[in-house]
Amino acid sequence: MTHGAAFSIIVDSSAAGQRLDVFVGARLPGCSRSFAAQLIAGGNVRVNDRHQKPGHRLKTGDAVTGCIPPPRPAGFLPEPIPLAILYEDEHIVVINKPPGLVVHPAPGHYSGTLVNGLLYHCPDLGGIGSELRPGIVHRLDKDTSGTLVVAKNGAALEELNSQFKARTVQKTYIALVHGAMPAAQGTIRLPIGRHPVDRKRMSVASRKTRQAETGWRVRRRFTGFTLLELDLKTGRTHQIRVHCAAVHHPIVGDPVYGKRNASRASRDTSHSTEVNELIANIRRQMLHAWRIGFVHPASGAALTFESPLPPDMQALIDRLECGS
């Protein structure tokens, strides 16, 4: 897919009845269906010289024409935000994101984000991908720390997006959860959707859900807590946090999915006063994106990157190892 390039495609009988966005996404190299829908909604695609909606059904002989516009510069200012860079070349940059840093601009967070810092570090990043998420291939919650890969050019973005879509990217997290897990390892397979009442939360009890799968294995056991390694097989919003809470082992410090357990743990007499105070003062989920593995978008080499645990999480684990 080349920015600024025009295209013209005649619909054959095999594509008759197909949605316009599906057709365009399949015919243009490196074009996803969502990007095709953006092109159509933005007036950059026509059917028989007329604008149509993304869901328009095509007929045999229809002429689909259009032009891929040049990328728009991001509308957010570069900021000299310190970045912990694990790896960088002309195609990608891999970051160890600290807890508390928002990944991309959103209402209430139009500055001080990872994107603002990346635009300062990589001035050419502004034209890669969408205006709000230049170069961002995947995201981490504000208070989740760890490894994040960012594309530095359009070709790298498309290739990495395809790997995430095909679920070939290996993502391993570390989490401290409440309680004792019942086995050494297992898999949580519970579909996830928007919470039926609170639209800011996700839930396994939603009427409209999507398949979600999380593999887990025990790394360490402590009195009242378990340290887990978790592998994401799918990438739903808040997936690990929702899945852990759904099996009654929410992540320590989770302000959304673990409030009841946090209150109970702070009064647990089996822990020392120091441990109870540490847990009571936690203001974020003890969840860390430890390792990511993927294929380099240009060289094809298999790459793996790991981020060390952040200080707050390491301090709590160290205290638990000393005995609770």
Q: In this structure, is the dihedral angle defined by the CA atoms of residues 59, 3, 35 and 25, taken in order, positive or negative? A: positive
Q: In this structure, is the dihedral angle defined by the CA atoms of residues 184, 190, 193 and 195, taken in order, positive or negative? A: negative
Segments of 57-106 assigned E as strands: 63-67, 85-88, 92-97
The closest alpha carbon to 18, from 60, 77, 65, belongs to 60
* Cα–Cα distance, 88 to 43 (Å, whole number): 36
In what helix (H) or strand (E) does residue 320 lie, and over which residues does it extend?
A: helix 311-321
Catalytic annotation present for 141: yes
Q: In this structure, is the dihedral angle defined by the CA atoms of residues 119, 167, 289 and 176, taken in order, positive or negative? A: positive
Please name the residue that has the structure tokens 């010289």.
Answer: 49
- The neighbour count for residue 46, using CB atoms within 10 Å, is 17
- The neighbour count for residue 191, using CB atoms within 10 Å, is 16
The tokens for 130 are 């969408």
Q: In this structure, is the dihedral angle defined by the CA atoms of residues 97, 99, 103 and 105, taken in order, positive or negative? A: negative
* Cα–Cα distance, 266 to 104 (Å, whole number): 33
In the set 141, 143, 254, 312, the catalytic residue is 141
The tokens for 233 are 């097989």
List, in sequence order, every residue forming a beta bridge with 295; answer none if it has no partner: 302
Q: Where in the sequence numbering do the catalytic residues fall?
A: 141
